[in-house]
Amino acid sequence: MTTVTTNTPVACPGCLATPSEAVPVVVPDARLMLSLPTIHCQACIAKVEKALNAYPGIKNARVNLTLKRAVIDADPEINAPELVTLLSSEGFEAHELDPGALNDTATNMAGRDLLMRLAVAGFASMNVMLLSVAVWSGATDATRDLFHWISAAIAIPAVAFSAQPFFRNAWAALRAGRLNMDVPITLAILLALATSLWETWLSGHHAYFDAALTLTFFLLAGRWLDARARSAARSAAEELTALEVPRAWRLGADGASEVPVATLRVNDLVQVRPGARAPVDGIVTEGRSEVDRAMLTGETLPEARGVGDVISAGEINLTGPLTLRASAVGPDTSLQRMAALVAVAESGRSRYTSLADRAAKLYAPGVHVISALAFLGWLIWSGDMRVSLNIAAAVLIITCPCALGLAVPAVTTAASGRLFGKGLLIKNATALERLAEVDTVIFDKTGTLTTGKPHLSNWDRLTAKQRSVAYALAKGSSHPLSRAVAARATAERCEPALLTDITEKPGWGTEAQLDGQTVRLGRPDWLEMIPDGDGICAGLDMGDGVCRLLTFEDDARGGASETIEALKKLKVSVILLSGDRACVVSDFAFKLGVPEWHASMLPNEKAEFVDALSRDGRRVLMVGDGLNDTAALATAHVSISPAQALDAARAASDMVLLGQDLSPVAEAIVVARQSTRRIKENFRIATIYNVIAVPLAVAGMATPLIAALAMSTSSITVSLNALRVRERK
Amino acid sequence: MNVLAYLIPISLILGGLGLVGFLYTLKARQYDDPEGDSRRILSDTWDDHPKP
């Protein structure tokens, strides 16, 4: 029943290695993937699978609820958009995913590999423990030796297989001349096996086969938790990228054809339809329209563009169709160059060392020194090589970082699971720790604190007739202000006036005939009037030459004011930075209760502002969505961007906000502080346990029974402590 | 003590069977969608006859 995911390879193995622009994005091997963000129950799974499997040409469809995704094997002529329409008629929101951008086989393989080793280690440690308990409870002489030999026969192959990840990491570190956590682990495991084997050979009393195996088991459990948390974040981040299937309309000799963006060349003629995003930098050769540059500049109001004007990749064409002659494509577009700059800025941040790394740096040399001293001390005092080596092994086993190796992954897994449930995705491993140190939060305005969709604010001042005319005119256009008028009118159940000859003048507005008079809705300067305010506005001409002003306001995103309240309660200072004009920003800041704001900021000014704060010793959390924020996002100590943000902005940030609501931002800081506290607590627990156990081991009193008890208790204690992050305070 | 000669191999074989079973389910990718599988139990589509 699970053969769906195994029978067809995802693209070809070579595709993974080649750079993405060389890979044609045409539907590969007729395997389609759809993202289904709204499914949540058995009924949804059954309905989606039934609808898809009944569709002619589909061989097999299976829904994965964990990833909220459907994998479909179909005939090559089936394409994703028709399946999206099919599912939306069934009542499910669906988006096409680009299978080329989803690299989950590699991620899954790593997780499955660790799980397999974990299973082998678990099986072997249980059996060996069974034999060890018999020895501890009094088996002697030949029986004890037999049990030890059987233990050895199980433990040696099991360790050789299960502990490979540690061996490999330790070897890599040693070759590079460094010490990491895996070096003491490997040494402890190998020394435990070697001395136990020696003891068994000489029919000694103590053997540590069970310790070597449980050590491997607990540490692999930590590794697996770590891998699982990371792969969840990575697959979700990949999915966000895969959501944008990059296609463009190229004008050739035989008309327009849909091609992958990667195949566009300089001087190609590209058609950009209303509502689409410009795929390349270019010069308009035909058409007139308005473009939404909010993602790039933070400006809410669209700008007019005509023949000869320049358009950059990423700008959204709003009203009329445009034809561009491409002047820069692919990595040369201003959008991609910006993203590349961000990647450089990001490498500076990777210098942050996590708590676990700092602990490991102290820990690894520490245990080696103690163990070596114990060995030397006993060798000088007793002169017995066998006893000294036994004690050195006992010290290494008992100090081994079960708590350390398990403490951090357990806490971060619990914390990122809790935040994922709230709609916040953690991309970077050290993001939680950096977030816990934050004392300043900087928000971008357009698209972050606001929805970026304006709404009509002076509707009540219009007469009934004006309302119906405005509604009828607005219905004909996809301009954001028109849509705002139409939305308001629909909400108020307004009837549209009967207009004839409705035409859209791209870049200006809409006009139509009403009882022989021309009525118009559009830019105020088109209606020969100068707006008195600075806000976003449009004009309405009822055919009498008098222009009435419609004013608009940008809505605050859901949970914005609550988030700012909550942040103030956390003693974090809140700053608003925007590329928009001062009057708009100040009104908005006052409404939300943000004490400090700065308007008309250029992208580099934003980044410099963040940089200046960091130099003052402030730890800044930057929340932003546009290209104008990317530099600031990369400069800040830690950063969050919404899922609707530009690809470059999402790539630059450490966390991604999946939903529309902003409130997870404040919650994230609380959880981050909590989990850092838990990690430090866990280190303290591990230290206390070492302070008690190490002297016992050095004194030669650590029998295998004591070692097993101490190791298990400390591991279980730190895991339980980590689980406390899950519950609500 | 002779009984150990039977019991130890038996316990190892039984445990080994469990391990092989686990590895089989892992290879068959039965842990790819834990959430979906826990809901699929509620489906009555294949209750009366096995899936073809």
Residue A444 catalytic? yes
Which residue of chain A has the CA closest to B27? A112
Query: Given this model, what pLDDT does residue A342 score?
Result: 62
A25 forms beta bridges with none
Tokens at A661, concatenated: 């609501």
Q: Which of A426, A410, A438 is nearest to A675 (CA)?
A: A410
Query: Given this model, what pLDDT does residue A298 score?
Result: 60
DSSP track, A633-699: HHHSSEEEEETTS-HHHHHH-SEEE-SS--THHHHHHHHHHHHHHHHHHHHHHHHHHHHHHHHHHHT
- Which of A98, A292, A444, A580 is labelled catalytic? A444
Q: Is the pLDDT of residue A688 over 70?
A: yes
Residues of chain B positioned with their CB less than 8 A from the CB of A41: 39
Inter-chain residue contact B29 with A42, CB threshold 8 Å: no
CA distance B28 to chain A (A): 7
Query: Given this model, what pLDDT does residue B19 score?
Result: 92
Query: Given this model, what pLDDT does residue A24 score?
Result: 43
Q: Is the pLDDT of residue B50 over 90?
A: no
A257 CB burial (10 A radius; 0-12, 13-18, 19+): exposed
A672 CB burial (10 A radius; 0-12, 13-18, 19+): buried
Which of B6, B10, B20, B29 to probe the A interface (max A CBs under 10 A)? B29
Query: Given this model, what pLDDT does residue A378 score?
Result: 92
- Contact call for residues A29 and A11 (beta carbons, < 8 A): yes
**Which of the residue ranges A557-566, A595-604, A650-659 would you say has the lowest mean pLDDT?**
A650-659
Name the residue facing A65 among B12, B35, B43 (closest C-beta).
B35
Q: Is the pLDDT of residue A13 over 60?
A: no
**Residue appearing with tokens 């059996």:** A127
Mean pLDDT, residues A535-558 taken together: 76
Inter-chain residue contact A42 with B15, CB threshold 8 Å: no
> Is the sign of the CA dihedral A559, A563, A565, A566 positive or negative?
positive
Residue bearing the bigger pLDDT, A279 or A190: A190
Residues of chain B positioned with their CB less than 8 A from the CB of A2: 28-30, 32
What gap in Å lies between CA A298 and CA A496, rounded to an integer? 33
What gap in Å lies between CA A10 and CA A101, rounded to an integer? 11
**Which of the residue ranges A77-91, A337-351, A371-385, A394-408 would you say has the lowest mean pLDDT?**
A337-351
Name the residue facing B34 among A63, A66, A123 (closest C-beta).
A66
Inter-chain residue contact A65 with B36, CB threshold 8 Å: yes
* Kind and range of the H or E run holding A537: strand A536-541
Query: Given this model, what pLDDT does residue A16 score?
Result: 38
Query: Given this model, what pLDDT does residue B20 score?
Result: 94
Residues of chain A positioned with their CB less than 8 A from the CB of B1: 143
CA distance B7 to chain A (A): 11
- Contact call for residues A247 and A258 (beta carbons, < 8 A): yes
Inter-chain residue contact A2 with B15, CB threshold 8 Å: no
DSSP track, chain B: -THHHHHHHHHHHHHHHHHHHHHHHHHTTTTS-HHHHHHHTT--TTSSS---
Query: Given this model, what pLDDT does residue A358 score?
Result: 80
Query: Given this model, what pLDDT does residue A21 score?
Result: 41
Confidence of residue A26 (pLDDT cuts 50, 70, 90): very low
Inter-chain residue contact B36 with A45, CB threshold 8 Å: yes
Inter-chain residue contact A63 with B36, CB threshold 8 Å: yes
- The amino acid occupying position A247 is R
Query: Given this model, what pLDDT does residue A11 score?
Result: 39
Query: Given this model, what pLDDT does residue A338 score?
Result: 67
Confidence of residue A122 (pLDDT cuts 50, 70, 90): very high
Dihedrals phi, psi of A273, to nearest 5 degrees: -80, 160
Name the residue facing B39 among A1, A45, A131 (closest C-beta).
A45
DSSP state of A497: P
Q: Is the pLDDT of residue A2 over 50?
A: no
Query: Given this model, what pLDDT does residue A706 score?
Result: 85
Other Cβ atoms less than 10 A from the Cβ of A7: the count is 9
Mean pLDDT, residues A169-179 taken together: 87
Q: Is the pLDDT of residue A14 over 50?
A: no
Q: Is the pLDDT of residue A728 over 60?
A: no
Count CB pairs under 8 A between chains A and B: 60
**Residue appearing with tokens 């972050």:** A448
Tokens at A14, concatenated: 């070579």
pLDDT above 70 coverage of chain A, percent: 86
What gap in Å lies between CA A421 and CA A604, rounded to an integer? 35
DSSP state of A350: G
Rounded to a whole number of angstroms, the distance between the first and last alpha carbons of chain B is 52
Quick: pLDDT tens for A249-286.
888 777 777 777 777 888 888 888 777 778 888 888 88
What gap in Å lies between CA A281 and CA A439, rounded to an integer? 39
Query: Given this model, what pLDDT does residue A346 score?
Result: 57
Q: Is the pLDDT of residue A27 over 70?
A: no
**Which of the residue ranges A42-56, A168-182, A645-659 would you say has the lowest mean pLDDT?**
A645-659
Q: Is B17 on the interface with A (CB under 8 A)?
A: no
Mean pLDDT, residues A553-566 taken together: 82
Name the residue facing B26 among A67, A112, A126 (closest C-beta).
A112
Please state the pTM of the whole predicted model: 0.73
Confidence of residue A729 (pLDDT cuts 50, 70, 90): very low
Q: Is A139 on the interface with B (CB under 8 A)?
A: no
Tokens at A575, concatenated: 């700053």
CA distance B23 to chain A (A): 7
Q: Is the pLDDT of residue A450 over 50?
A: yes
Inter-chain residue contact B33 with A67, CB threshold 8 Å: yes
Tokens at A552, concatenated: 């608009």
- Phi and psi based region of residue A330 (left: phi greater than 0; alpha: psi -120 to 50; beta: remaining): left
**Which of the residue ranges A212-216, A455-459, A694-698, A706-710 would you say has the lowest mean pLDDT?**
A455-459
Name the residue facing B36 among A64, A130, A154 (closest C-beta).
A64
**Which of the residue ranges A18-22, A237-241, A612-616 would you say has the lowest mean pLDDT?**
A18-22
Residue bearing the bigger pLDDT, A391 or A353: A391
Query: Given this model, what pLDDT does residue A242 score?
Result: 62
**Which of the residue ranges A21-25, A485-489, A613-617 would you say has the lowest mean pLDDT?**
A21-25
Q: Is the pLDDT of residue A159 over 90?
A: yes
**Residue appearing with tokens 């099991």:** A158
Query: Given this model, what pLDDT does residue A659 score?
Result: 72
Which positions ≥6 away from A242 have C-beta within 8 Å?
A: A33, A35, A97, A98, A99, A100, A101, A102
Inter-chain residue contact B12 with A127, CB threshold 8 Å: yes
Which residue of chain B has the CA closest to A139? B1
* Half-sphere exposure in the Cβ direction for A598 (13 Å, CA): 14
Q: Write the ipTM.
A: 0.86
Q: Which of A563, A571, A557 is nearest to A667 (CA)?
A: A563
Confidence of residue A294 (pLDDT cuts 50, 70, 90): low
CA distance B48 to chain A (A): 16
**Which of the residue ranges A8-17, A268-277, A488-497, A597-606 would you say has the lowest mean pLDDT?**
A8-17
Interaxial angle between packed helices A164-175 and A209-242, expressed in degrees from 0 to 180 and rounded to the nearest 10: 80
* Half-sphere exposure in the Cβ direction for A572 (13 Å, CA): 27
Confidence of residue A595 (pLDDT cuts 50, 70, 90): confident
Q: What angle do CA A296, A297, A299 make, to 5 degrees?
A: 125
**Beta sheet of A289-292, edge-to-edge order:** A303-305, A289-292, A316-317
CA distance A41 to chain B (A): 7
Q: Is the pLDDT of residue A23 over 50?
A: no
Q: Which of A677, A567, A676, A680 is nearest to A623 (CA)?
A: A567
What gap in Å lies between CA A361 and CA A328, rounded to an integer? 48
Q: Is B30 on the interface with A (CB under 8 A)?
A: yes
Inter-chain residue contact B15 with A150, CB threshold 8 Å: no
Q: Is B9 on the interface with A (CB under 8 A)?
A: no
Which residue of chain A has the CA closest to B39? A42
Inter-chain residue contact B39 with A42, CB threshold 8 Å: yes
A625 CB burial (10 A radius; 0-12, 13-18, 19+): buried
What gap in Å lies between CA A388 and CA A205, rounded to an integer? 15
Query: Given this model, what pLDDT does residue A424 score?
Result: 82
**Would you call A555 helix, strand, or coil by DSSP?**
strand
